[in-house]
Amino acid sequence: MELLTMFLCLSIFLLLLLTWKIYKKRIQLPPGPFPLPLLGNVLQGTTVLYDSYRELSEQYGPVFTVWLGSTPMVVLCGYEVLKDALINHSQEFGARGSSPVPERLTNGYGVISTNGLRWQQLRRFSATTFRNIGIGKRSMEERMQDEVRHLIQAVQDTGGEAFNPLNVLGRAVNNIINLMVFGKRWDYKNKTMLRLFNIVNDILLFLRSPLGVTYAALNQIMRHLPGPHQKVFRESEIAKSFIREQINSHRNTLDSEYPRDYIDCFLIKADQEKDLHSSEFIQENLVNTIFDFFVGGTETTTNTIQFSLLVIITHPCVQARVQKEIDKVVGPDRLPGIADRVHMPYTNAVIHEIQRFLDLVPLSLPHMATQDTVFRGFKIPKGTTVIPLIGSALWDPAQWETPEEFNPEHFLNQNGEFYMRPAFMPFSAGKRVCLGEGLARMEIFLFFTALLQKFTIRAANQTDTFDLRTLRRAFRKKGLFYEMRAIPRTYTAEN
């Protein structure tokens, strides 16, 4: 009985100590809901920020604090606040904050979850290499168009019957990264590629799941416990083993005068800096940077194109108008190219509005305050995790006429010309803007326009109905699954 009493007293003491520590931290930070010891705000549902941010910002303002376990996170809402933080205060908020799952997946290597000299060297090298091997250039566009032809053939093979577009779209997008990184593509039925594609999807679904949120909040405990969450980390090693095999193959066939792809360029740079102690061009950084590319670039672009097709199914008038513009500018005899985009204002507006409305990645990866900072009247201590809520800019009622509705007119002026809205930031902004933004923009435009050039997209059944506002959130849960039909278009003089 005495031991039980001592245990209860000790537990109460520790609970009070934790509460006091949280209170001391909390009074230094922007306001927010009161956190529970150890759990923070997890059980209150407030950490599902893309659902709760409006209510929280109405109560506490556009800068507020929520707690993930014992870790406070300062949340930034609205275009003006995000612009101020990510662009005007990029130095103070430009570091990557702690993110337990990505950190364990990459062991502190790579370009996404790192800071300091490692991030600077890898980010600068990757951006330069992407430009040199073709992003935004005709050479890369031609390689993308070759992949578009494979995609068109795969869709044609459905014969107008119902099919799930996720599979072929995912393989096509995956092959664009393969071309950039490995210098080659794989057949859509290749079992190794299918396995890797599924591994990447499993990782991203885990990150967004309640189990993933719990792992992030209690990672010091969860990382040692058995359970389904450990499967993600085991499977990531399978993906990285494949990447290592490709690197070894490149090393054995490398010609430093004629680099073929990202791996070749990295290996050449590593050889040039082999005697520099400060060089970050080592094997593990290469493996994990490539892993970052697949995790960050495959699913996001695939889901955007997948949702694009769902939008035009539910808006047949939009589909018809886009096809009319494609027919006028491109015609039936060649594939659309990037140079056509400037002559297709409505199509360009539709693509941008799809990305805005979809709000695919509403929360930026965590940032971190690099120094004690006063921002919007609040003291934010050095090392504090900062969450830019990108979706709050894309749906900001102060920036969009009809933020709750799909409306391509958001990106058209009175003369029907395309114009970019400053609050359009689906790839984030500032120092940590998405490294693959240029590649993703090219992919989305070329795949979307080519599919509508060749096919009319319809629901699998005439009675099928879709609620876009509900389905845009499906990606944050178990993914979006639907079937459609692609009916080959016939060209006449009227086209």
What pLDDT is stored for residue 229 in this prediction? 86
412-471 confidence digits (pLDDT tens): 999 999 999 999 999 999 999 999 999 999 999 999 999 999 999 999 998 888 888 888
Query: Between these two residues, 343 and 222, which has the higher pLDDT value?
Result: 343
Query: Between these two residues, 208 and 258, which has the higher pLDDT value?
Result: 258
28-85 confidence digits (pLDDT tens): 789 988 887 767 776 666 556 777 888 888 899 999 999 887 788 999 999 999 999 9
What pLDDT is stored for residue 46 in this prediction? 56
Does residue 239 belong to any structural domain of this protein?
yes
What pLDDT is stored for residue 17 in this prediction? 54
Q: How sure is the predictor about 318, in pLDDT bands with cuts at 50, 70 and 90?
A: very high
What pLDDT is stored for residue 463 in this prediction? 86
Q: What CA–CA distance (Å, rounded) separates 220 from 154?
A: 46
3-state secondary structure the chain: CHHHHHHHHHHHHHHHHHHHHHHHHHCCCCCCCCCECCCECHHHCCCCHHHHHHHHHHHHCCEEEEEECCEEEEEECCHHHHHHHHHHCHHHHCEECCCHHHHHHHCCCCCCCCCHHHHHHHHHHHHHHHHHCCCCCHHHHHHHHHHHHHHHHHHHCCCCCCECHHHHHHHHHHHHHHHHHCCCCCCCCCHHHHHHHHHHHHHHHHHHCHHHHHHHHCHHHHCCCCCCHHHHHHHHHHHHHHHHHHHHHHHHCCCCCCCCCHHHHHHHHHHHCCCCCCCCCCHHHHHHHHHHHHHHHHHHHHHHHHHHHHHHHHCHHHHHHHHHHHHHHCCCCCCCCHHHHHHCHHHHHHHHHHHHHHCCCCCCCCEECCCCEEECCEEECCCCEEEECHHHHHCCCCCCCCCCCCCHHHHECCCCCECCCCCCCCCCCHHHCCCCHHHHHHHHHHHHHHHHHHEEEEECCCCCCCCHHHHCCHHHCCCCCCCEEEEECCCCCCC
Half-sphere exposure of 421 (CA within 13 A, CB side): 27
What pLDDT is stored for residue 298 in this prediction? 87
- The answer to whether the CB of 204 falls within 8 A of the CB of 236 is no
221-262 confidence digits (pLDDT tens): 888 888 888 999 999 999 999 999 999 999 999 999 999 899
Beta carbons within 8 Å of 264's beta carbon, 6+ residues apart = 183, 250, 254, 255
CATH classification of the domain holding 264? 1.10.630.10
What residues are designated binding site for heme? Answer: 434
Domain span at 217:
78-488
pLDDT over 70 at 18, yes or no: no
Does residue 427 belong to any structural domain of this protein?
yes
What pLDDT is stored for residue 25 in this prediction? 66
354 vs 62, 284, 351, 391, CA distance in Å?
25, 37, 5, 13
What pLDDT is stored for residue 478 in this prediction? 74
Does residue 482 belong to any structural domain of this protein?
yes
What pLDDT is stored for residue 350 in this prediction? 98
Mean pLDDT along residues 154-158:
96
108 vs 266, 269, 385, CA distance in Å?
18, 21, 17
What pLDDT is stored for residue 196 in this prediction? 87
What residues are designated binding site? Answer: 434
162-204 confidence digits (pLDDT tens): 999 998 999 999 999 999 999 999 999 899 888 888 898 888 8
Most confident range (mean pLDDT) of 96-100, 314-318, 467-471 is 314-318
What pLDDT is stored for residue 5 in this prediction? 63
What pLDDT is stored for residue 19 in this prediction? 57
61-74 confidence digits (pLDDT tens): 999 999 887 788 99
Does residue 28 belong to any structural domain of this protein?
no
Does residue 22 belong to any structural domain of this protein?
no
Does residue 327 belong to any structural domain of this protein?
yes
367-407 confidence digits (pLDDT tens): 999 999 999 999 999 999 999 999 999 999 999 999 999 99
What pLDDT is stored for residue 35 in this prediction? 80
Look up residue 389 and give its amino acid.
L
Give the CA angle between residues 352, 90, 420 to the nearest 5°: 20
pLDDT over 80 at 363, yes or no: yes
What pLDDT is stored for residue 8 in this prediction? 62
What pLDDT is stored for residue 418 in this prediction? 97
Query: Between these two residues, 410 and 139, which has the higher pLDDT value?
Result: 410
- For the chain, the domain total comes to 1
CA 473, chain centre distance (Å)? 14
Does residue 275 belong to any structural domain of this protein?
yes
